[in-house]
Structures are given as C-alpha cells and as structure tokens.
Amino acid sequence: MEGPGSRLQPSRGIGQLYADPDAPLYKALRSVLGRLSVLGRIPEAAGAEQYGLALVPPRAFHVTALDGINTGNLESVAPAYQDEARRYLAGLPETLREQLSEDQLPGAQPPGEQLPREQLPREQLIREQLIREQPTGERPAGEPPAFVRHLMASALARQTWRLTFELRDLVIWGASALAARLRPTAAAEAKVEAFCAARRELAASFARRFGPTVREPYEPHVTLGYFADPGGARRARRVLPTWSGAAQDAAKGTTLRLTRTRLYGFTDMATFVRGP
C-alpha cells in the first residue's frame, strides 16, 4: 500500500521504493531502530548484530496489502500458469516494466469509490470476462500475465482507500522477522474493514484460479528486519518487550496514512519495482 508521499527513485537501473520520510510513524520506527544497541542493556558494540538481525533500510518500509505469486509459493501455482509465472519472476524487474499502464486498460475507472457491479461500464465487464477466460500463453506481447491482470482488475487495486493506522506493537514472527504490527485508528475502523472485505474477495478468487492462498486474518505490518538464524530470534525474544515498549512510546500519537494499493515486484527486501 502507498501513502501520499511514497515514491520511486532509480538505483542501478532498478526502481527503489522510498517511503515518505516525513510519515510520522515511519520516523518513530526509525528512531527506535537506531537505538536497538542500547535498548534492554545490550552492549552498544554488539547492537542488532548480537541477534544476527539485518535491519531493513527505512527507505524500503512498506505495508503489504496482499502477496501475489513469488518464489516461496511458486510450487502451489496451478499447472496452467506455472510456466508463465516462472518466466515472469525470473525476468523481474524487466517483466514488470512491460505492463500496460492503467490509462491503457479498456474501461478503466479513475481512482475513486468503486461502483456497484450493475453500474460498471459494459467495456469493463467485457474486459474482466476476457481476463477470466483468456488462456495462458495467448496474451498480446507486452501485456501482463493472467495473474497480474487479475490483481490489477480487483477492487483492492482500483479503489482509493484512505486508511489510517497506528502502531500496535513489535513482534517476532516465526524465527525469521522482526515486524511492527499496525492497527486502524478508531476513525478508520470501518474503512479498514471494507478494505479487508475486498482483500478476502480477491484472495478467494485468486486462490480458486491460480492456487496460492494468503494468510487470514489480515495483519497489516511493517517489516523491520530479518534474523540470520533461529538462535538469534530466540535471544531477541528476551528483549522484545523492551524494544516494543520503546517503539510504542516513540510512536505515541503518530499515524500512517495509506491511500492506494499498487503492484510491486521485489528482487530483494530493499529493492522494489512498481508496476502500472
């Protein structure tokens, strides 16, 4: 998901996602990450390295709306789409840049509130039917593969959401990642619930057609770092309450505003390429 200040800057020919440096919640998280070496009486010289924790650069902070197809779930992709998905992932970032832009899509709606289906333009309904029925391998050159077009045509991607989150806490997921969990502000709860409903609808249709499923319920979060091994994660759990408390103190009164979802591909956890 993107906030109003999200932007891409070129780096070695690849687009990198730069989070809005002025987003108050992101700034609070940055301040805490800069103090991990002294939180919980950790020797300053050891810092995050004591736990084998590689921090995500703040420029790559992001909130994932829904995972698509990636190398982690490629084996669960339906056989009809396996080859196409494999080629697409292998060709990143170039394959993402080859896609049609939104204003080239027949019947595309401008950002705004989603119309009821019975009010959708006939051209858009025809286009969606073609997306559902078009076999893999029979798409025009330069057009996105079927699974990408499915994501792009969804309400999740085409609607403007204007969601506002605040920090919930820090958590260690499994033995691999340190993340900042988010929760909607009181004023945004209804909008976030509508967003989650659209996400469930997309996840269900995506799984039916392409195979991969997504985790429910939705837990919006910002990934802050990755542990090199399970032992480091176990050691970090002992100081996690201290880290989380410091983050909650730093983020008190701050929010993160997100307005749209867009398609991104990534070649590592700091380098992102934005699609149409």
pLDDT at 5: 61
Report the mean per-residue pLDDT for the chain: 78
Extract the tokens encoding 64: 């994932």
CA distance 272 to 21: 17
Which residues are paired to 227 by β-bridges? 53
Q: Which amino acid is at 150?
A: H
The residue type of 79 is P
pLDDT tens-digit readout, 191-230:
999 999 999 999 999 999 999 998 889 999 999 988 888 9
Q: Which residue is it, tokens 């939180």?
A: 39
* DSSP at 59: G
| Residue 11 predicted with pLDDT over 50 | no
Task: State which fold the 7-274 domain adopts.
Answer: Cyclic Phosphodiesterase; Chain: A, (3.90.1140)
Q: Which residue has the higher pLDDT, 273 or 83?
A: 83
pLDDT at residue 127 greater than cutoff 90 = no
Rounded Cα distance between 153 and 109, Å, is 10
Asked whether residue 12 carries a pLDDT value surpassing 90, the answer given is no
In 12-116, DSSP assigns E strands to 14-18, 53-55
Question: What is the mean predicted confidence (pLDDT) over 130-141?
Answer: 46
For 59-111, the pLDDT digits (tens) are: 788 899 999 898 889 999 999 999 999 998 888 777 776 654 443 333 333 33
Share of the chain above pLDDT 90, in %: 41
For the beta carbon of residue 161, count every other beta carbon within 10 angstroms. 20
| Each residue's pLDDT tens digit, 146-196 | 999 999 899 999 999 999 999 999 999 988 899 999 999 999 999 999 999
Domain range list for the chain: 7-274
